[in-house]
Amino acid sequence: MASPTIRDVAREAGVSTATVSYVLNNSRRVGEETRRKVIEAAMRLGYRANITARNLQASETRLLGYSWRPTPPDQFNPILDQFLNAIAQAAAHHEYHILTFPAETIEEELAIYQDMVLTGQVDGFILSNTNLNDERVRTLLKMEFPFVAFGRSNPEWDFAWVDVDGKEGTAMAVRHLVQQGYRRIAHLAWPEDSLTGQYRLGGYQAAMEEAGLGVDPAWIVRTENRHDDAYRRTRGLLELPRQRRPDAVVASSDLMAIGAINAALDAGIEVGKELAVVGFDDAPVARYLRPPLTTLRQPITEIGERLITMLVALCQGRRVDDPHVLLPPQLVVRASSGAG
């Protein structure tokens, strides 16, 4: 079957061949509705293969696309800052550059991917914060366009990823607390639809079982990754009867751990003695808290280097020998867990 041509796309979209050329070459301003109509028609017809062939005959863009959700003004995302720096430096080492574009919704992000692929603006994409049934992964696999991900998705989907072993991380935190003499250990977990959160919850549960410690259902508290939510839910934990009240908390992020610390302090409970708190991320602020926060450090620099090396190989048509990399976090012990 013959590959679709620019005339086929024009006919499918109901526009002129010149308009299709303007859109695909980004050579003249076209109305957003018309632009979307052309892109959707090209996607339906599978016209991307023609564009890819054209780009291969010409030259690479040497650009790698990366999108993220903007952080609300009342929150911080230290991992994003570190990750952006890591992939930018790694890309520069390979003589590539990072093209960044924040997107508010998954629909907006997918539309940008399709636009960039069809118009040949980037050679590949980097994804982060992946989840089960992730539409970005599904779409890029279907398009057969090079991409890598910081995070996992459906086990049956074959794509290159690097991830931090969150299950082992929270297990390390629990083991450390048990060694310090804590027994009633609670977990501030992310919502059920978070794959990363599920891994971290699994590590907590496995380590508690390994230590022969029962888990009161009230000790597993699901909350969003926000300071105020973690603060409020920790206050609820501290209001449990004394024999059920946790003597330690493992949080899914440093931001949540800070909420837990502030909740304890406002309740007149001394952190590091009466209540231990462990975070996850090792944000720069962690060492400056009172008390300094015990946390799990993610190897962000190594993650960035591995992802970019994989993606450059895929963009150049080379095989990636080890496309699935799971890296351990490092437990950084400070005073918040009673050991600093």
Summary mean pLDDT of the chain: 90
Print the domain residue range for 24. 1-59
The upper half-sphere exposure of residue 74, i.e. CA atoms within 13 Å in the direction of its Cβ, equals: 6
Q: Considering the domain boundaries, does residue 113 fall inside one?
A: no
Element (H, E) at 116: helix 106-118
Domain boundary among 59, 78, 103: 59
Over residues 216-234, the pLDDT tens digits come to 999 999 999 999 999 999 9
The number of domains in the chain is 2
pLDDT for residue 28: 67
Amino acid at 227: H
**CATH of residue 215:** 3.40.50.2300
Q: Considering the domain boundaries, does residue 277 fall inside one?
A: yes
Indicate whether 53 pLDDT > 70: no
Residues 53 and 176 in one domain: no
Nearest to 335 by CA among 278, 281, 254: 278
Do 234 and 279 touch, CB atoms closer than 8 A?
no
Domain boundary among 19, 42, 59: 59
Q: Considering the domain boundaries, does residue 54 fall inside one?
A: yes
State the pLDDT confidence band at 149, using cuts at 50, 70 and 90.
very high
Rounded Cα distance, 158 and 163, in Å: 15
Range of lowest pLDDT (63-67, 108-112, 291-295): 108-112
Rounded Cα distance, 252 and 222, in Å: 10
Nearest to 195 by CA among 149, 138, 129: 129
Domain boundary among 20, 44, 59: 59
E strand map for 83-193? 97-100, 124-128, 147-150, 160-164, 185-189
pLDDT for residue 2: 64
pLDDT for residue 69: 85
Nearest to 264 by CA among 148, 186, 165, 177: 186
Over residues 270-286, the pLDDT tens digits come to 999 999 999 999 999 99
Q: Considering the domain boundaries, does residue 136 fall inside one?
A: no
Indicate whether 52 pLDDT > 80: no
Indicate whether 236 pLDDT > 90: yes
Q: Considering the domain boundaries, does residue 40 fall inside one?
A: yes
Over residues 185-202, the pLDDT tens digits come to 999 999 999 999 999 999
pLDDT for residue 26: 64
Indicate whether 10 pLDDT > 90: no
Q: Considering the domain boundaries, does residue 42 fall inside one?
A: yes
Q: Considering the domain boundaries, does residue 244 fall inside one?
A: yes
Instruction: Note the helical H segments in 14-47.
Output: 17-25, 32-45
From residue 50, how far is each of 5, 24, 124 by CA, in Å? 8, 11, 17
**CATH of residue 26:** 1.10.260.40
Amino acid at 17: T
